[in-house]
Structure 1
Amino acid sequence: MPSLTRLENEQLTIEISSLGAELQSLVTKDGRSFLWNGDATFWNGRSPILFPIVGKAPDDTVQIDGKPYTMAQHGLARRKDFALTAASAQSCCFMLTSNDETKSVYPFDFSLALTYQLAQNTLRVTASVTNASDNAMPYGIGFHPAFLWPLPGAEGKAHHIVLDNGAEPALLRLSGGLLDQTTRPSPFTAGHLTLDASQYVEDAMIFAQGAGTGLTYQADGGPSLHFAFENLPNLALWQKPGAPFICIEPWHGMAAQHGKGPALKDRPYTVLLPAGETADYGFSVTVKA
């Protein structure tokens, strides 16, 4: 059975499951809960880690060095038990290390470490990928946290995404779960987007580039969450139609392109990590009243 690790400081309390090293809750000291609760009526995820692919592969098959491997949407990490390797009152680290089972679907020796840290009203999450193989290792990686919409205490109020850089990044959509490369006009105006459920009838809104390294999710006259991203150039926003949450997803890697085949190395923004090297990716979320 998965175990829960609890971190706490004077402003925030979080819990992380050993299954997928997935964040389970984010609660302020006044009792406000900000993370989606995983109600399976809509979606049983809360904040899965996406590795070694982001999104879908054609027929759930990726090709590596010319060989096919079965790979479900968003990869294998979210379905694996991680080992708790370090823990204190305000930080912890979980580790997934390759084994015969993982290598049957992803033929590399690797480790994936997830570190959670609390500092005042900020949660920081870092993923470190190490290639322990003899050859370069292709992968995508991403975060998929879901936050309440409406935010606590902001029922009936307009909610917004505001990009730090004030940009108007082009929009991409999915076709059958795969990336449609047709560029659509940006839904942002001077970095501002008012959220509406109709935006997600066609699945996620994906911004391959230009969304920048930070944004604020906020409600009129209510609380806000500020996000900062590290080494995560892609952004997606997603809601299960009718569900009371919004996913704010920073990625390095995206779904396979529609009609382009299953090769992992050819997916947009795939990382090719040299043998023996480690790469870090992360995001922070700061809760503001």
Structure 2
Amino acid sequence: MQLTRIANDDITVDVAALGAEMQSIQTRDGRHWLWHGDATFWTGRSPILFPMVGRAPNDTISIGGQRYQMSQHGFARRSNFTLVVEESDRCVYRLEASEASRAMYPFDFQLDVEHRLDGRAVSVTAEVTNRDHRVMPYGIGFHPAFAWPLPGAAGQTHFVTLDNGGEPDLYRLSRGLVRPEALASPFVAGRLELEHRLFEDDAMVFRDGAGAGLRFGTDTGPALRFSWENLPNFAFWSKPGAGYICLEPWHGTAAEVGGSDDLAERPYSELLGPGATGRYGFRAEILPD
């Protein structure tokens, strides 16, 4: 696997050409903060979701009246990107439309994914450019899996605290599709105690109201500050008993149960005009403990 390593005095990050996927975050003290991809539970670490988030009915989408096969979370995470910028603390990988991509998604696009370090933080930014002559529908999201428990916090209770103090409605999935009914929020004044039982029914999806930032970790020990940009939807996901939790900001969700298979009609899909560029990102900062 082709890897690019970026580093500063505080952290080291490895990024793979396959999927432009971050593979590790290590602080100077030797601690690892990202999930290590144990195949017993899940081989992913921090995939980029494009050109759709979640699943489509029967793994089929329609665009302009034509149907295309597309597996969960799109094809970017299984595509080889090209390294176009490599600096000591920054790298950019690029994916461009190809014959293979057009068989699933008939648009001329460019997807640039940048990883950049700033002190004890890593910022991941995706820029989608529509190089086609038509409006281009898509969904995009991030799926980083952080260690749970965080290093040095085994046996301690972990919490998520939303910066906005919100209590967003919860949505659940059925065979990968979003159920339309809103459920009571598991947050109380923006705070949620994490337990593995929360994920017995798959991911926890918040279609809106989660804000643009949170704190994940223990009250008195290791913690992360996590924030995101231009991504109105959010989800948490783990497998019960696994040593990770995914913090997932999205622009676009899975199709709804009983809803349309048209990519443009999925909840929160982006509709990008010819020549335009959409920018999305997240920042994960390791807080001192």
Task: Identify the TM-score tier after normalising by the shorter chain.
Answer: over 0.9
- 1:160 corresponds in structure 2 to 159
- 2:51 corresponds in structure 1 to 52
The 2-side partners of 1:236 and 1:39 are apart by 21
- 1:139 corresponds in structure 2 to 138
Q: What are the superposed Cα offsets for residues 33-72 of structure 1, whole Å, 9 maximum, x if unpaired?
A: 0000000000000000000000000110000001100000
- 1:69 corresponds in structure 2 to 68
How do residues 212-251 of structure 1 correspond to structure 2 at under 5 angstroms? 212-251=211-250
RMSD: 0.6
Q: TM-score, normalised by structure 1?
A: 0.99
- 1:176 corresponds in structure 2 to 175
Aligned length: 288
Q: What are the superposed Cα offsets for residues 76-109 of structure 1, whole Å, 9 maximum, x if unpaired?
A: 0000000000110000100000011100100000
- 8 Å contact from structure 1 (residues 55, 254) kept in 2: yes
The 2-side partners of 1:87 and 1:190 are apart by 42
The 2-side partners of 1:80 and 1:25 are apart by 19
- 2:81 corresponds in structure 1 to 82
Q: Which amino acid aligns with 1:139?
A: Y
- 8 Å contact from structure 1 (residues 51, 140) kept in 2: yes
- 2:28 corresponds in structure 1 to 29
Q: Which stretch shows the higher mean deviation, 51-60 or 259-268?
A: 259-268
Runs ≥4 residues deviating over 4 A: none
The 2-side partners of 1:242 and 1:261 are apart by 34
How do residues 89-168 of structure 1 correspond to structure 2 at under 5 angstroms? 89-168=88-167
Determine if the alignment matches structure 1 residue 210 to structure 2 residue 209: yes
Q: Please list every run of 5 or more consecutive structure 1 residues that lacks an aligned counterpart in the other structure.
A: none
SS of the equivalent of 1:172 reads coil
The 2-side partners of 1:129 and 1:163 are apart by 28
The 1-side partners of 2:175 and 2:12 are apart by 38
Q: Which amino acid aligns with 1:254?
A: T
Q: Report the CA distance between 1:220 and its aligned residue.
A: 3.2
Q: Which amino acid aligns with 1:161?
A: V
- 8 Å contact from structure 1 (residues 256, 267) kept in 2: yes
Q: TM-score, normalised by structure 2?
A: 0.99
Q: Which stretch shows the higher mean deviation, 220-229 or 181-190?
A: 220-229
The 2-side partners of 1:275 and 1:182 are apart by 35
User: Identity, % of aligned pairs?
Assistant: 51
Q: Which amino acid aligns with 1:103?
A: R
The 2-side partners of 1:195 and 1:84 are apart by 37
Q: Please list every run of 5 or more consecutive structure 2 residues that lacks an aligned counterpart in the other structure.
A: none
Q: Which amino acid aligns with 1:273?
A: L
Q: What are the superposed Cα offsets for residues 144-170 of structure 1, whole Å, 9 maximum, x if unpaired?
A: 000011000101100000000000000
SS of the equivalent of 2:179 reads strand
